[in-house]
Chains A and B, each alone.
Chain A
Amino acid sequence: NAGVTQTPKFQVLKTGQSMTLQCAQDMNHNSMYWYRQDPGMGLRLIYYSASEGTTDKGEVPNGYNVSRLNKREFSLRLESAAPSQTSVYFCASSPGTGYEQYFGPGTRLTVT
């Protein structure tokens, strides 16, 4: 089992460009999450999906959209990237909300 996979691993964007970060899990988990982590700081929840077909805002949703494509896949879209979105993005999944989460390896995004 691969667990949680994320693509791409690295990305450089210019201000105003758009892109989609992909995440997939093979653990049959119901819940999936997107976090960002800035240097020297903790994880901040962007959006989450408690179950297939639902999505909810987290702590820092502005500038992002998400799609829960099916039970396995949860994507994060930046419509118009800004330098403030330079960060490491982690996707995670869990059996349900409130249970332990398992993280993907992260996407390192730089917006110039």
Chain B
Amino acid sequence: RKEVEQDPGPFNVPEGATVAFNCTYSNSASQSFFWYRQDCRKEPKLLMSVYSSGNEDGRFTAQLNRASQYISLLIRDSKLSDSATYLCVVNSASKIIFGSGTRLSIRP
């Protein structure tokens, strides 16, 4: 089993829709979690950290479920500019592990 797993997608949704993706991790002792976005041929950029209590940044909400060992990212009122690959990142014993990413495509 991979240490961090994501559905590769692509998720193809209309503008204005709400979309959510999950990411599962295998090490129950994992300590910190992040979501990054990566545009085509660009570097990954930090989208948000994921806190135990869940956190929101504008249209984006991140949640952590330690019991089931997954984190989620919810995007509300999606925009064309949200089209990107979303990478789940898990800190496990001071080792940062990147998921392979979920591709999101927003259509007009």
Contact between chains at B43 and A105 (CB < 8 Å): yes
Contact between chains at A101 and B99 (CB < 8 Å): no
User: Chain B residue with minimal CB distance to A41?
Assistant: B100
Interface centre among A42, A94, A103, A106 (most CB of B within 10 A): A42
4 shortest interchain CB distances as A-B pairs? A42-B100, A103-B43, A98-B91, A97-B94
Interface membership of B86, Cβ < 8 A: no
Collect the chain A residues with CB atoms within 8 Å of residue B96's CB.
Answer: 33, 94, 97-98, 101
CA–CA, A99 to B67, complex, Å? 22
Contact between chains at B94 and A98 (CB < 8 Å): yes
Q: List 6 A-B contacts (CB under 8 A).
A: A42-B101, A43-B87, A98-B32, A102-B46, A103-B43, A105-B42
Query: For chain B, which range describes its interface: under 10, 10 to 19, 20 to 34, or 35 or more residues?
Result: 20 to 34
CA–CA, A105 to B46, complex, Å? 13
Interface membership of A104, Cβ < 8 A: yes
Q: Which of A66-94 contact B (CB under 8 A)?
A: 88, 90, 94
Interface membership of B31, Cβ < 8 A: yes
User: Chain A residue with minimal CB distance to B30?
Assistant: A98
Contact between chains at B31 and A103 (CB < 8 Å): no
Cβ of B17 to closest chain A Cβ, rounded Å: 25
Collect the chain B residues with CB atoms within 8 Å of residue A102's CB.
Answer: 46
Collect the chain A residues with CB atoms within 8 Å of residue B101's CB.
Answer: 42
